[in-house]
Chains A and B, each alone.
Chain A
């Protein structure tokens, strides 16, 4: 608990110092994308790691947020500071609606239905040309003339700080413990008075809100939003980040986001081979590090620490 908080604070301080050391626009772009992905991975982790259900439709909230911000900016001229929070709120509303349907399902049913919601939204974005401009997308979002990437970096760092603060508070609260109880054992959770549906809904809507914020930021940063924000490849990237870093931890998604962002960038020369490599990496993680890098580190600490009865056999069986 305190360890996780201190690591997050440390990473935050390091990130805050970054613009003073780095002025290269390309490197700053990478840093902005890494933080953007960290927010997304963190929001997905609330669902995957704390509710314990695997959502494949998280891009629904990213896309909703991005379109909300883009529409408000292009059509109504809203500035960034107003459009991004609005994007989060609209995505949270979508989370409430989609959660009300999907959270009654579990396991593979939940996976499929969340995926279909993202697909339906993609098709709507593609075809509702009057509003979304169809496949052409919405261009020229927030032409406020922010040229320096350091400004964007400061904004995304602020958003990341906010979302990680909210996640930290949630995860280590009574409500977060209830969500974990539902993940670990639905029957026990009910027998101690936890409403599984309501508890999952809190985490789900919180995750949707954060993904919406990230989407809103993305719209302003790229200054263009098209239907591809709902695409599955986006989803795949976020999943890899959460799995690699370690689901059910707060530091994990950050670590995963940074590693995957850098990998994506520096493997770009390998073109299509990049995706195959990603597939292999995911398989390796699932096989050898089922709890991600953070899970691996935690286990090493445990083994060196005061758990003498920890036999490898038991440990393997339970992970």
Chain B
């Protein structure tokens, strides 16, 4: 089993994965992976294609039930909880394959993201009182503000299917932010962005920490973005933990270079 990382921030980490293993039939996609995300941290999860990053994401957020191992969020065991139940605790994720509600407008997408804040009884749905009306107004204002934060104000009322690839990525993050996450998990948020856009995107992400979300966990292939943004990086290879450390340590780690580029000639 992989040793748990030392906590730099002290106290209980926000998210802790212990000994996670996922087997699909005879294939072990992820094997005994353990790491944690502390408050205020941006953690990167990297590795070559097929390393098990997205499988990890799916286990952490309840879309898969791990074959072995446990997931703790805010100190509570959330292993094998339903995805919506985990989301309600404040762990919100995005998806690798861009996932938005294509027929709704940008504003409607983000407004829908405010679901948890606006939950109400059926009676209140049918006979809305002043409280419900105010909540609705606030959700609309907040949705407009989130759209603006992500730099999509110009596209506010455009249907999502008309957005460019980069805009879709931003919208996806906006929908996730609308759900007011404590920990936001992004699966390849910069895929399809050019390097300039990716850098801007990284800057946007940094501004979120402490203000909008407590912590971030990012799966990403764009190394410039990962190295520029993350406080700590976890490297997976063939479903196993290969390394963990600060960006500089990871860059100079020969095992990581080998996993990505192959063995150096002797």
Q: Which A residues are closer than 8 A to B by beta carbons?
A: 165-166, 169-170, 173-178, 180-181, 184-185, 187-196, 202, 307, 309-310, 314, 318
A192 touching B128, Cβ below 8 Å: no
* CB pairs A–B below 8 angstroms (20 shown): A166-B126, A170-B125, A173-B128, A176-B125, A178-B112, A181-B101, A181-B112, A185-B100, A185-B102, A187-B63, A187-B95, A191-B83, A191-B92, A191-B94, A192-B87, A192-B175, A195-B84, A307-B158, A307-B162, A314-B162
Cα–Cα distance between A65 and B246 once the two chains are bound (Å): 66
Alpha-carbon gap, A76 to B87, bound state (A): 50
Given contacts A178-B112, A181-B112, contact A194 B84 (CB under 8 A): yes
Q: Separation in Å of the A252 CB from the closest CB of chain B?
A: 15
B20 beta carbon closer than 8 Å to chain A: no
B61 to A175, Cβ gap below 8 A? Answer: no
A192-B87, A193-B84 given; 10 more Cβ-contact pairs under 8 Å = A169-B125, A169-B126, A174-B120, A176-B125, A178-B115, A181-B101, A190-B83, A191-B61, A193-B88, A193-B179
- Is A187 a contact of B99 with CB atoms below 8 Å? yes
Q: Does B103 contact A (CB under 8 A)?
A: yes
Known: A191-B83, A193-B88, A195-B82. A184 touches B101 (CB 8 A): yes
- Which residues of chain B (65-95) have a CB below 8 Å from chain A? 82-85, 87-88, 92-95
Contact call B101/A188, Cβ cutoff below 8 A: yes
Nearest 8 A/B pairs, CB to CB: A174-B118, A184-B101, A193-B87, A190-B83, A193-B116, A192-B179, A173-B125, A195-B84
Q: Which residues of B contact A165 (CB under 8 A)?
A: 126
- Kindly list chain B residues whose C-beta atoms are within 8 Å of the C-beta of A187: 63, 95, 99
Collect the chain A residues with CB atoms within 8 Å of residue B135's CB. Answer: 174
Point out the residues of chain A lying under 8 angstroms from B248, CB to CB. Answer: none
Let me know if B113 and A192 touch, CB within 8 A: yes
Q: Which residues of B contact A314 (CB under 8 A)?
A: 161-162
Asked whether A196 lies within 8 Å of B101 as measured between CB atoms, the reply is no
Asked whether any CB of chain A lies closer than 8 Å to the CB of B111, the reply is yes
Q: What is the distance, in angstroms, from B138's C-beta to the closest C-beta of chain A?
A: 12
In the assembled complex, the CB of A246 is this many whole angstroms from the nearest CB of chain B, namely 13
B164 nearest CB across to chain A (Å): 10
Cβ B120 vs Cβ A184 within 8 A:
no
Contacts of B93 in A (CB 8 A): 191
Known: A190-B83, A195-B82, A310-B162. A175 touches B88 (CB 8 A): no
Question: In the complex, how many angstroms separate the beta carbon of A52 from the nearest chain B beta carbon?
Answer: 11
List the A side residues contacting B63 at CB < 8 Å. 187, 190
Closest CB in chain A relative to B97 CB, distance in Å: 9
* B162 near A188: Cβ-Cβ < 8 Å: no
Question: Is B241 an interface residue, CB under 8 A from the partner?
Answer: no
Q: Which residues of B contact A178 (CB under 8 A)?
A: 112, 115
Q: Mark B166-177, 1 if CB is under 8 A from A, else 0.
A: 000000000110
